[in-house]
Amino acid sequence: MARNVKLVTLLFGLLSLALAAQANDANNGTDKTGTRSGDKGQQQHQNQPSNLLPTSPGYVIGSEDVLKISVWKETELTNTVTVRPDGKISVALLGDVQAAGLTPMQLANHISDKLKQYISDPRVTVVVNTINSRKVFILGEVLHTGSYNLMPQMTVLQALSSAGGFSQWADLKGIYVLRTENGKQTKLKFNYRQVIKGHNVNQNVALKPGDTIVVP
């Protein structure tokens, strides 16, 4: 009898320790894989798309892009600036400088040439920190209309997937893209039902900055 009592007491103690350990894990936000819930949230946030994108040497700066202007050995002239809607930035000693329409290398050379009247042999570097100028617009019968950052080689279908889906009244056969080039607007048809079935996939064109997708 005494032996049975000791055995029950021992089992009860082990069960208490297991429950305490489980409660401690819950308070610390850990799951069965040993990953904290806060860490998982941070990983999910890091996996979300960002407009902080690598730029090619031929990238053309646009309004709202964020640039880092660095001048070697001139820390007071090193600054991070945002391109204004008029396409210009403010640079110490120089005032307003045109940035939109130039590549980072062209802008660096332009600033360097202007600084020569103040500094001997200025060495300027321009880095695009954040791309905000490359946007497309989605209007009409989608759940989330508005502007979207244009990712590299983004197609019409990919852009539409960012809009959260269609409303029940959407004409999926009558979607079109409005594109303005050289002052002339063109209309590119996009039949969603055909494309998702693999037909006429040439309609699924790569988008360009400023394109507007209309879902009637």
- Tens-digit pLDDT profile for the chain (216 aa)? 544 444 445 445 545 544 444 544 444 444 443 444 344 333 333 333 444 455 566 888 998 999 999 999 888 889 999 999 999 999 999 999 999 999 999 999 999 999 999 999 999 999 999 888 889 999 999 999 999 989 888 999 999 999 999 999 999 999 999 999 888 999 999 999 999 999 999 999 999 999 999 999
Strands (DSSP E) along the chain, which ranges?
66-71, 79-82, 88-91, 95-98, 124-130, 135-140, 146-149, 175-181, 184-190, 212-215
pLDDT, residue 133, reads 87
* CATH number 3.30.1950.10 given to 66-130: yes
**What is the reported pTM?**
0.59
Which pLDDT score, from 0 to 100, does residue 56 have? 67
Nearest to 51 by CA among 126, 119, 151, 144: 151
Per-residue pLDDT, 131: 87
Task: Supply the pLDDT for residue 37.
Answer: 39
Domain ranges of the chain: 66-130, 135-215
> Which 3 state secondary structure label does DSSP give 54?
coil
153: left (phi > 0), else alpha (psi -120 to 50), else beta? Answer: left
> What is the C-alpha R_g of the chain?
28
What is the pLDDT, as a whole number, of residue 46? 33
| Alpha helices (H) in the chain, listed in sequence order | 2-27, 37-47, 104-115, 156-161, 192-196
CATH 3.40.50.2300 correct for 135-215: no
What is the rounded distance in angstroms from the CA atom of residue 164 to the CA atom of residue 42?
23
Cα 215 from Cα 48, distance rounded (Å): 26
Give Cα 120 distance to the centre of its chain: 39
Question: How far is the C-alpha of 90 from the C-alpha of 159, rounded, in Å?
Answer: 34
Distance of CA 60 to the CA centre of its chain: 17
Backbone φ/ψ region at 58: left (φ over 0), alpha (ψ -120 to 50), beta: alpha
- Listed residue (75, 67, 181) closest to 126, CA to CA: 67
Q: Any residues with CB less than 8 A from the CB of 39 and at least 6 apart, and which?
A: none
Query: What distance in Å separates the CA atoms of residue 144 and residue 82, rounded to the nearest whole number?
Result: 27
